[in-house]
Structure formats: structure tokens, C-alpha cells
Chains A and B, each alone.
Chain A
Amino acid sequence: MNILIIEDEARIARRIERMIRSILGKEINSLNLCDSLDDGLKFIAENEIDLLFLDLNLNGKDGFDVLETVVSESFHTIIVSAYKDRAIKAFEYGVLDFVPKPFDEDRLAKALRRITSKDVSDTAIKYLAIKKRGKQSLIKVENIIYIKGAGIYTELFLQNGTKEIHNKSLENLRALLPDSFERIHKSYLVEMRNAKQIIIEPGSKYSLEISNGEQLPIGRTRYKNLQEKWFS
């Protein structure tokens, strides 16, 4: 895992670093520190990362200004900030976690666990930030019907019939989105309020009919779980 920490307080940056190393151990490929937003953004542009730790107030600058930029990227973002009151807004924008200062190793470990196992209790995400022709724009999560994985990025299919590209993988989006988004196939994540019925075709082929009439394939291994959870 490639990790970047953007934090202007040397002592705190090193604390985060030390703890991540202790939690993740050999899982870490690279771990870098930047003490300013500019350096951090430059690093992101030039290097592939999987996880970003971001302080919201850096050298008197508001990290929120870059939040929209970083959440539209493929990697997960964890905010480490003194401004607890901004957690809700951060979650709305699709950060993986918000770690308020001061923190200990347990809290950091909990945040890191979210990458793999989703903590259902608080998914307050309201928007997905996407990059469109170099500019950021926000898509309301409630407008998404389903998401299709397309290699390292994903395609978001919206209520108005349009399609947008997101830089995050289906796996990473799954971690951010609420439980109403169900993985029905290795390449499909559906907002289940839009699901109408399961269609069983000959040869044990299953598909899900959704509100706009489209039929999406259901993974063989996922059918049972899906049937039980949503249609029984």
C-alpha cells in the first residue's frame, strides 16, 4: 500500500507515520510525508497512492479547498483534523474516515480497518466528486442507479440517463457508499431502491431488472444472498 501523509505539524506527522507502520507493518509499500498542501498535491500528481492522510488546516490554509479534488481521485482519504465540527461535511464529500485530534493508535487502526471491512453505522456520504475535463463536480449519491466497474475506474449510471466516470475502483466506492448499494456482480454495484425483480433465465443465468428497464447480470455466487436479503 502506498500512503501519503499531508500534515504540517512535524510531531503529529511522525506520530501518524509511526502508528501506521505499527498497524500495517509489511503491507506498506511506501510512506511519504508532506508538510504543505502544495507539496502534497504535487506528490499526488506524480505518484500513485492508495491512501491519503490529510490535515484540514495546513499553514493557515483550509484543507477543505482540496477535499473535493482528492476525493475524486482513485485513492481513499482519511482526514486527521482538530476541527471535529467539520466531520459531517467531510463524510458527505466521501472521505473514508475522519480522525479527530488528539488520537491514539486504536483510533487510527479503526480508520484503516474501514478500507477492507465497511463499518455500516456511519455512511453519511451525500456526494461523489468526479473529475470531468479537469474540473471537479459533485454528483448526488441519491441520483445514482448503479455503478459499473471498468478496470481501474468506474462508470456511474444516473437517474437522468447519463453516465459519469469516477476514478475510484468499485471496491473503493463500495467502502464509501451506504448499504443500499449492493454488489450484485463483480462489476456491478446497484442502489437497491431501484431494483424491481430478479429474472431467472435458462442455464442458471440470473439478472436484476432495475427501474429504467435495464437488466444487469447477477453473479452466480451472489444470487442466494441477494435473494435472501432483498427479495424474501
Chain B
Amino acid sequence: MKNYLYLFFLLVLFSSCKNERPEYFYDEQLVKLGDNPDWAAVDFDDSTWEENIDVVGQGVFWIRIKFELADIKDIQVDQGMMVGGSGSYQLWLDEKYLGQNGELQTEDKDEVPGTYHAFFDIPDSLLTEGTHVAAFRMTQQSDKIGQHLYFLIDNYFELTRAPLQTSKYMFLFAGAFLLAAVYFLFMFFSRPKEISPLLFSIVCVLFCSLLAMEYLKFFYLYEYPFQNTRMEIIGYLHISLAVLVPLFLMLQFSFPPKHILILMLILLGIIYYNDYNCHNSYDKVAKIHHKTMMIFSCLLTAYAVYKRKNGAKVAFAGVLFGYLLVHQLPHIENLRQFLPRFDISQFIAFVIIVLCMFYILTLKIREERLAYEASLVLSERLKNELLKKNIKPHFIMNTLTSLIDWVEEAPKEGVKFITALAGEFEILNEIADYKLVPIEQEIKLCKNHLKVMGYRKEITYKWEEWDIDMNEIIPPAIIHTAVENGVTHSIPNEEGVITFRLSFERNEKSKKYILHTIAEKRKESAIENTNKRGGTGLKYIRSRLQESYPDKWAISSQATRHGWETVFEIFV
């Protein structure tokens, strides 16, 4: 019978909110179908009545419960009775009519369902030491819920107030998590690509809902069929949390998507198995879902600790503590009395988990912010590097020396040289602020650079373009850097010419820029080259590509029959 479970459920709750346990009665509920006003009598012989019979939807039936009040000292004035049960009923205590909950079903009228919990005043004169009889005249038309009944006797004021005392803390929690949920939902809206804040927000909402559903019963007197709906909702909330919390942990600790998929399937399998096995017991199933979630989270965070993930240690410690508190420590006989019961401890564990998640998420957000700041710094550094290209002493001083010479020796050519130099500066200045620039501008920059170098080195540099799509964009000065390297490391052919040929290829997977340097390559010096300037150039190109196409690029360069080839590949 389900009623034992419900009874235990409430017993646990009440026991945790109040040191002094209120009087509580459920045993020897004797049931009989039919209707007779005499059945309320204290000395009525109910020996032929049975404990377990199906009464749902079968019209009026009676339940009689005999109970002893032994220690009358504790029983004071202003006593009340809280009844929890499935059905509409009228209640007598020791033949004294206490009241009615709902309206009973009659032949021509449907039942008006009573509330699941109902409170009754007990006249002071009734509570004396000895045996008492509570008699319920009931109908239960709804079959959504198994027939059950229990009641507590305590100070009327305490009966209503004590549960609210516990609830207030729980609703404080619920409110905090609701706020967190809203905050992270907004965060998600501001950056919809990040799934973690959304997940965290959902977990917070679920947790808030779970608290609300659990403690709803203390301030909202709902009709008894809803009790079942409520328990179902709680069940689904438990399942959702058992799925989402491990999923969140896996995402936060950057598990590979394949592992996440496999682990989630395993988890769902376990949850389904547990749910199927314990479907008849709300309490057991909640506990086992909770346990599954905790064990899974423990294993995941332990693995994250092993992998030295940021924040993993704190998360593992928190989750492990939660697991031990709820599922292991209560098995130790001497400890049990000091520990909160499942209803409280499960929420403590949840709070710890959510706080751990909060912590991890905060760390992650901080990491992201640092990474973002680093990327800003990098962008700024690359911009500097780009601008510095043409004021490095090697470039500027050699250029100026050549320039002076041209002006002194051939002023007209000198003027052209100055124009070309001005052109290069102008373009560099134009593109410095952008992460991507039109290819047309990049080509213009290369051409201008070759003009300048032509005057300096007195080598004829030719520029050729094949199949360039002028609508394309590219990080600034990367081809320019490759051209610089080509100028530095190449020897012209017999006619004193070095040709640069830029071609463009596009296929489904990638876009490719190929820079051919058609020239002889200078022999590598026998002298150790400690200052790898070519190296810094390549570093600039790599940083620029990574900045604009994270991990979706490749650069290669190799000797060809006619010279040198540098390939920039950008994957789609």
C-alpha cells in the first residue's frame, strides 16, 4: 500500500522540523464499505472489518482507527488534528463530530474532493489518557491516487506553523536559485553560442521547482487527486536533474562530445532501469535518481581532478560530501541520529552541487574573460607588429639611405621612390586597425613594397596574379610578410628579375592562396643563424591566421623547381 510511503514521507519531514515529535497515528486502519452512523461509536465491535480492501470509486466507506494516548502530560490544551488522506470525509473522534473535508459522493451527486491535508480542532475534553477512536466516513471517487489516510495530533498552532518554519528556509533557497536562473538566462541571451549558462539556468529552475513542489503542500491546500500529480512532477524533476547535472559537469570539464554521448546514453539507461524498477514508490525512485546523479557526478569530477581541470578539486570535494551525507553516512548506526533525513539532506546535497556548478561556471567565465583579454592584447600586439614593420631600423634606415642616394644621383627616380614609399605607408596605415582586409588592398601593399625594394636592391620585381577573387578578405599583411621573406632570401635570375605569383584556389573544403617566388634561393649560410627573422615573420602570419580563423587554417612552404612556394589554406 502506498500509504505507508506517504506516511513515512511526512513523518520524516515533520521529524526534521521539530524536535518533539507530534502524536502520529496510522496503524490498524480498519475499513468497511457501506454506511452506518453507529460506526462512529467508540465501543463499536469492528473485529469483522478488514485492513486492506479496495474502496476507490465504490461509494461510501468507513475507516476506524484506534489509538492510545499514553503520556497525557505532553497533551495540552488547544490540540488539533491534521489529516492527510485521499478522499472526502466526515470525521468523528470518540463519537464527537469534528468536521468535514470536501463533500461526499451521493447517489445523485458527485464527490466534491477534499483537500489532501485538512486541519481539525479537538475539544480539550476529548484528549484523555487511554484508548481513542477516530472514525472517518469517506468516499474516494478519483482513482488517480491509492487510498490512504493518516493523521497527526499536536498543538493546533504548531501543526500549522512548524512545517512553514522549514519551508521558509527552503523557499529562501528556491528564490536564490530562481534569481540565479534568471541571471544566467540573461547571460545566455547575450551570448547564445555558450550553452553552459543556459544549462545552468535550467538546472537552477528545476531545483527551484523541486523545492517549490516539495514544500507546496504546507501552504497550499490542494484537492487530494493533485497529490499524485505533485509526486509525478517531483519524479520528473528528479530525473531531469539526474540527467542535466552530469551533462553540465561533462560540458564544463570539456569532455569530448563522443564521450559525453556515450556517458549520457549509459546514464539514461540507468535512470530508465531504476525508474522502471521502482515506479510504484515515489520516495524510493527519488532517492535512487538522486543517488545515480551523485555517483555519476562523483565519477565525472574525480576524472576531471585526474585530468587536472580547473576547479575540479572543489567540485569533487563538494559532490563527494553530498553523496556521503545523503547516501552513505545514514547507514552508520551511531551517526544516523545526527544526520538530517533524506528530504532535507537531498536538498543540502543539491545546494552543494549547484554551488559547485556555480563555482565551476564562474571559473570558466573568468577563464573566458582572460582569454578574451589575451586575444585583445594579441590583436593589439599584431597591430603594433604590422605598424612596426615599416619603422624597424633595418627597413627604414636602409630605405632612407637608398632614398638619399637616389635623390642625390637621380632626383626624378628619387621622387618615384618616395611616392612608392608613401603608398606603402598609406596602405599599412589604412589596414592596421582591421583583422581582415580586402585581398585587393593586400595585393596593393605587396606591389608597393616590391616597388620600394626594387629601388633599394635594384632588382626587377615582377608581380603576377592568377584567379584572384577580389571579393575575398584576408588578415592584413600576411602575404606581404611572405613577400618580404621572398625578397630577403632570393637571388634574381640572369636578367635580374624575381617574380612573385599569387594564385587563388577554392574547393568545397578550403580556400587557398599560393605565393610562388620564382627565383633562386639563397644558400643557407654556413654561419649559425641565431636571429631568425624569417621565423618572426612566420610567427606573425600564424598569429594572424589563428586570430581570424581559429584552428581552421594551415600554412606550408616548400622549395619548388622554380623557386619557393608558400601556401595559405583557410578551411571553410
A residues with CB within 8 A of B: 8-12, 14-15, 36-38, 41, 57, 59-62, 64-66, 82-85, 100-104
Contact = CB atoms under 8 A, between A and B. Distances in A.
A102 B401 contact: yes
Interface in B352-401: 393-394, 396-398, 400-401
A80 to B, nearest CB: 9
Given A11-B405, A38-B523, A65 B529 contact: yes
B397 A82 contact: yes
B325 to A, nearest CB: 66
B90 interface: no
Contacts of A66: 527
A62 B401 contact: no
B194 to A, nearest CB: 44
A135 B529 CA distance: 18
A60 B456 contact: no
B397 A102 contact: yes
22 contacts: A10-B458, A11-B401, A11-B405, A11-B455, A11-B456, A11-B457, A12-B402, A38-B527, A57-B394, A59-B522, A60-B489, A60-B529, A61-B527, A61-B531, A62-B531, A65-B527, A82-B398, A83-B393, A85-B393, A101-B398, A102-B404, A104-B404
B131 interface: no
Contact of B457 (A9, A36, A64, A103): A9
Nearest to B457: A10
Nearest to B397: A82
B525 interface: yes
B488 interface: yes
Interface in B10-24: none
B467 to A, nearest CB: 30
B106 interface: no
B527 A37 contact: yes
B143 to A, nearest CB: 89
Interface in B384-428: 393-394, 396-398, 400-406
Nearest to A69: B527
Contacts of A102: 397, 400-401, 403-404
Contacts of B485: 60
Nearest to B527: A65
B146 interface: no
A38 B397 contact: no
B530 interface: yes
Given A36-B522, A59-B488, A83-B393, A9 B398 contact: yes
Nearest to A15: B405
A8 B459 CA distance: 12
Contacts, number: 81
B455 A60 contact: no
A7 to B, nearest CB: 9
Given A9-B398, A11-B402, A60-B488, 16 more contacts: A10-B456, A10-B459, A11-B401, A11-B457, A12-B401, A12-B405, A12-B456, A15-B401, A38-B527, A60-B489, A65-B528, A82-B396, A82-B397, A83-B394, A102-B400, A102-B404
B530 A82 contact: no
B533 interface: yes
Contacts of B400: 101-102
A149 to B, nearest CB: 31
A102 B396 CA distance: 9
Nearest to B459: A10
Nearest to B395: A82
B525 A61 contact: yes
Query: Which A-B residue pairs are the 9 nearest by beta carbons?
Result: A82-B397, A102-B401, A62-B531, A101-B397, A82-B393, A10-B458, A11-B402, A60-B488, A60-B533
B515 to A, nearest CB: 17
A8 B527 CA distance: 16
Contacts of A82: 393-394, 396-398, 401
Contacts of B402: 9, 11-12, 15
A61 B394 contact: no
Given A9-B456, A10-B459, A12-B398, A60 B527 contact: no
B454 to A, nearest CB: 10
Contacts of A10: 456-459
Most buried by B among A64, A65, A82, A103: A82
B526 interface: yes
Nearest to A65: B527
Contacts of A15: 401-402, 405
B175 interface: no
Most buried by B among A60, A83, A100, A102: A60
A9 B403 CA distance: 12
Contacts of B528: 65
A104 to B, nearest CB: 8
Most buried by A among B396, B403, B455, B522: B522
A101 B393 CA distance: 9
A137 to B, nearest CB: 17
B88 to A, nearest CB: 95
B340 interface: no
B2 to A, nearest CB: 85
Most buried by B among A38, A84, A103: A38
A222 to B, nearest CB: 42
Contacts of A84: 393
Contacts of A101: 397-398, 400-401
B563 interface: no
A85 B393 CA distance: 10
B438 interface: no
Contacts of A8: 457
B489 A59 contact: yes
Nearest to B528: A65
A220 B457 CA distance: 55
Given A11-B456, A83-B393, A38 B398 contact: no
Most buried by B among A36, A83, A102, A103: A102
B534 interface: yes
Interface string B448-489: 000000011111000000000000000000000000010011
B478 to A, nearest CB: 18
A104 B406 CA distance: 13
Interface string B473-509: 0000000000001001100000000000000000000
A69 to B, nearest CB: 8
A11 B459 CA distance: 10
